[in-house]
Amino acid sequence: MSTPKFPSPSTPVSIEGPLKVLLLENIHASAEEMLAAEGFAVERLKGALKPEELEERIQGVHLLGIRSKTNVWEPALAKAPNLLAVGAFCIGTNQVDLKSANTHGVPVFNAPFSNTRSVAELVIAEIVMLTRQLGDRNREVHAGQWRKVATGSHEVRGKTLGIVGYGHIGTQVGVLAESMGMRVLFYDVMTKLPLGNSRPTATLHELLENSDFVTLHVPATPSTEWMIGAAELSRMRKGSCLINASRGTVVDIPALAKALQSGHLSGAAVDVYPTEPETNSDGFATELQGLSNVILTPHIGGSTEEAQASIGKEVATSLIKFVRSGATTGAVNFPQVETPLIPKTHRILNVHRNTPGVLRDINKIVSDLNANIHAQVLSTDANIGYLVMDLDQDVANPVCNAIAGLTTDIKTRIVS
Ligand SMILES: NC(=O)c1ccc[n+]([C@@H]2O[C@H](COP(=O)([O-])OP(=O)(O)OC[C@H]3O[C@@H](n4cnc5c(N)ncnc54)[C@H](O)[C@@H]3O)[C@@H](O)[C@H]2O)c1
Ligand SMILES: O=C(O)[C@H](O)COP(=O)(O)O
């Protein structure tokens, strides 16, 4: 395992004037409204930023909001000593170097369910579209061509849907599919409660061999990278269809194109790609373009007004709670602490290297300054400790400055 990279601060986080918030990728206005109502200075940009642009723009930013396109890696984090938190206004957090964010003392919050239903509904629509070849018929009639055919078109009732990744989205898809009379199989690396009449398969291959439609709902991780390649596609039933609204790294696109061209698969719906444009004005190319019965969408699985408004509020709420009280509940890369603010106390938040003796050093600082600790909560993970400490007397500034001077310090700030 690589040695974690820690920053070496000697001063507390600098917050002069209103907190600076940078929201990228057209994050819903609901987030801007909530953050601005807190008195924060919010800048909202439409597109994603390339890594080098982010390194430039992140300097001085306290809260960064992104969606799935902005990569937040170590070089950007290293240039943002005042960054308090990152809000991923989506489900996936694979675009953030979570370990680096952790060792820089930056919690990353996401919205784990706000667009779940939107993705599930898109997948259900695509199952019907693929089995009725609606994309092709629609294109033909628009072009003045009347091709009334039944061959290759089927009802979904009684067909088998195989769900790979039976988490939030996968289970929703399964419930909706059963309501249309489909049989549901699922494959997951974790043991999951089967909803309705769905059944788990022991292996991925068992699922692929027994499904008329296969839909992917796994996260982007090393275990899912290219998990559907030529070998897996060849195990799928002849004439079956593949749907990928998970991440572009899960499916080998050239292999999928071959399986479609050979007629082994009768159709596919793809929402996510290994490389996606950063803005709506950039061009896009994939080997799948022009193939019959292939639905291509521009990563819109979670793009409904309902989902985006709800994500905006959910992630903005997490960011505000973290700023105001230090609550890290729901952060995907951080020790979890949430403790109510106590009136007339002064709260210090400290992230430090998880080595023995840090709490002793911090408590010595407090005691040397004759301060009284009203409450102290520490939570740790392999690399860092996160300490929330409420002091009785107004000695927060000198305590905070002294803690930031410890060699083990990563990030320290006063909340109230
Ligand atoms: N297209 C879109 O717009 C869109 C929208 C939302 C989410 N997503 C993607 O969908 C993914 C799934 O979302 P979710 O909310 O259902 O996540 P989730 O964490 O609730 O479910 C993921 C499931 O995959 C399983 N899994 C992990 N690795 C696996 C493997 N190697 N083989 C089989 N199963 C495995 C997990 O155990 C879990 O049950 C997200 O990570 C995101 O990348 C895409
Ligand atoms: O992870 C997600 O929630 C989806 O991929 C949606 O990403 P987006 O917010 O960039 O549309």
**Nearest atom (ligand 2) to Cα of 115:** 3
Same domain, 277 and 325: no
From the candidates 44, 137, 299, 347, which is the catalytic residue? 299
Our answer to whether residue 276 is catalytic in this structure is yes
**Nearest atom (ligand 2) to Cα of 300:** 11
pLDDT band for position 416 (cuts 50, 70, 90): low
Query: Which residues, in sequence order, are CB contacts of 370 under 8 Å at separation 6+?
Result: 393, 395
- Which pTM does this prediction carry? 0.94
* Ligand 2 site-directed mutation target among 95, 299, 306, most atoms within 8 Å of CB: 299
**Model pLDDT for residues 316-338, shown as the tens digit of each residue:** 999 999 999 999 999 999 999 99
Which SS3 state, helix, strand or coil, does residue 115 take?
coil
Same domain, 201 and 345: no
The predicted pLDDT at position 393 comes to 75
Our answer to whether residue 353 is catalytic in this structure is no
What's the complex ipTM?
0.99
Ligand number nearest CA of 272 is: 1
What single DSSP character describes residue 248?
G
Same domain, 364 and 224: no
Q: Which residues line ligand 2 (CB under 6 A)?
A: 67-69, 90-92, 115, 299, 301-303
Nearest CA-CA partner of 65 in 305, 249, 323: 323
Q: Is 247 within 8 Å of 224 (Cβ atoms)? A: yes
**Model pLDDT for residues 359-383, shown as the tens digit of each residue:** 999 999 999 998 899 999 999 999 9
Same domain, 144 and 30: no
Query: What gap in Å lies between CA 229 and CA 50, rounded to an integer?
Result: 29
Helices 134-142 & 116-131, crossing angle to 10 degrees?
A: 70
**Model pLDDT for residues 30-87, shown as the tens digit of each residue:** 999 999 999 999 999 999 999 999 999 999 999 999 999 999 999 999 999 999 999 9
**Nearest atom (ligand 2) to Cα of 247:** 5
Structural domain for 89, as ranges: 1-115+304-334
**Model pLDDT for residues 146-188, shown as the tens digit of each residue:** 999 999 999 999 999 999 999 999 999 999 999 999 999 999 9
pLDDT band for position 10 (cuts 50, 70, 90): confident
What single DSSP character describes residue 223?
G
Nearest CA to ligand 2 atom 10: 68
Same domain, 48 and 153: no
In the chain, count H helices and then E strands.
13, 16
Same domain, 140 and 277: yes
Same domain, 216 and 313: no
Find the 202 Cα to ligand 1 centroid distance in Å: 18
**Model pLDDT for residues 274-283, shown as the tens digit of each residue:** 999 988 999 9
Same domain, 376 and 352: yes
pLDDT band for position 11 (cuts 50, 70, 90): confident
pLDDT at 312 over 60: yes
Same domain, 26 and 175: no
Average pLDDT, the chain: 96
